[in-house]
Amino acid sequence: MSSAWSWFVILGTVLSLVGTLAFLLSNRSTSGQETTGHDYDGIQELDNPLPLWWVSMFIVSILFAGGYLIYYPGLGNFSGIGNWSSADQVAREQQAHEDRFAPLYARLAQLDEAELHADRQAQQVGRRLFINNCSTCHGVTGQGAFGFPNLTDDEWIWGKGFDKVKTALQNGRQAAMPGWAAALGDQGIDDVTQHVLQLAGSEHNPEAAARGASQYAMFCVACHGPEGSGNPILGAPNLANDIWLYGGSAEAIAFTLRHGRNGNMPSFARVLDPDQIHILAGYVTSLSLK
Ligand code: HEC
Ligand code: HEC
């Protein structure tokens, strides 16, 4: 802050404190009379003195403000005689956090997957990391939501296992399912939707599903496979079960086909260090075992 602004702030602050005090003292009832002397149609205004406890509290808080502004930064560029700064405090707290948790992380980073599952502290740290970083999308319990996969079941869009979870955290996951409205047309969307319902073992219209089969073979097999079992390398989900990322009703599937879907799991390589990713992968893989 330039020194002109600094003085502006200092004067503004000090004058308003002094002004408040002066205003308070000048308004104390000292006349000894019970009314202000105002009289409207026989209604008079009483002039009671402010209660002493109230006035004293006001004065004490003004004195406190003065002391505070001398000790802590608050008056323009004046840094206060206590030399306190929020940046120092954060640095001190971070250092304390580091000193406290570095040995713990170092120990947990040595454990393999099975040991991470069994270690109580690894589970606790993993759970905390999960709640802080993942729960906004995957839910506090990891059960997912529309568009965000459930991590507690045994269905893995991008493949199962500790290393796959680590890869997801390190690199993120970008799913690309194009929209098919132009290629299939309205009739085609309906037919292929019925075919997908058939693959999933859901209620469907057999004639429409049969019509959709040839279009499915032409447009969808490359990614989802002839039986709809999906492809973890591309992140193409299994369509032949009743687990849906974007809903399994005819309307939801038709919407997916028409517009495509591009689920995006962000990379955490810059947010979490390798030790944390290791511990978190142990926690996430343990969720589907419970
Ligand atoms: C901004 C939302 C978001 C956050 C935050 C997020 N994810 Fe994800 N995650 C997704 C989405 C969306 C997908 C699915 C991508 C797709 O469509 O294939 C996904 C996929 C995954 C997968 C692959 C699932 C599978 O079935 O193969 C794993 C594992 C995963 N996330 C773990 C995590 C963990 C652990 C965290 C916390 C560090 C996390 N995610 C944070 C959105 C998020
Ligand atoms: C280029 C590869 C590719 C092709 C071709 C493709 N898909 Fe997909 N499909 C994907 C991917 C990847 C996802 C996951 C999208 C996401 O996670 O956001 C997906 C998602 C879906 C879903 C949503 C599944 C769920 O769990 O909600 C359906 C339904 C689907 N595809 C059907 C089809 C049909 C039918 C065709 C052919 C018309 C097709 N896909 C063609 C890659 C493909």
Taken in order of first residue, the domains within the chain and their CATH numbers are 3-71 (no CATH), 89-174+267-287 (1.10.760.10), 181-262 (1.10.760.10)
What tokens were used for 28? 């104390």
- CA-CA distance, 8 to 245, in Å (whole number)? 58
Q: Is the CB of 177 under 6 A from ligand 1?
A: no
What are the helix (H) ranges across the chain? 3-26, 52-71, 86-109, 113-118, 120-133, 135-138, 162-171, 181-199, 206-219, 221-224, 250-259, 274-287
Sorted by sequence, the CB contacts under 8 Å of residue 72 that are 6+ apart come out as 80, 82, 84
Which pLDDT band, with edges at 50, 70 and 90, does 227 fall under? very high
Q: Is the CB of 266 under 6 A from ligand 1?
A: yes
pLDDT, tens digit, 9 for 90 and up, residues 100-154? 888 999 999 999 999 999 999 999 999 999 999 999 999 999 999 999 999 999 9
CB 162 within 8 A of CB 279: no
Among 27-41, 42-56, 259-273, name the one with the lowest average pLDDT: 27-41
pLDDT of residue 234: 95
CA 1 to chain centre: 34
The per-residue b/e assignment along 164-179, b for 16 or more CB within 10 angstroms, e otherwise, is bbbbbbeeebebebeb
User: At residue 290, does pLDDT exceed 90?
Assistant: no
| Nearest residue by C-alpha to atom 34 in ligand 2 | 220
CA 267–ligand 1 middle distance (angstroms): 9
Strand 264-265 and strand 43-46: pairing?
Answer: unpaired
| Identity at 235, one-letter amino acid code | G
Which pLDDT band, with edges at 50, 70 and 90, does 17 fall under? very high
Selection from 286, 235, 281, 290 nearest residue 133 by Cα: 281
CA 117–ligand 2 middle distance (angstroms): 33
Ligand 1 atom with minimal separation from the 272 CA: 38
Which residues form the pocket of ligand 2, taking CB atoms under 6 Å from any ligand atom?
Answer: 175-177, 180, 192, 196, 216, 219-220, 222-224, 234-237, 239, 244-246, 253, 256-257, 261-263
User: At residue 30, does pLDDT exceed 90?
Assistant: no
Tell me the whole-structure pTM to 2 decimals.
0.77
CA 170 to chain centre: 19
Q: Is the CB of 184 under 6 A from ligand 1?
A: no
Ligand nearest to the CA of 154: 1
Question: Collapsing DSSP states into helix, strand and coil, what is residue 261?
Answer: strand
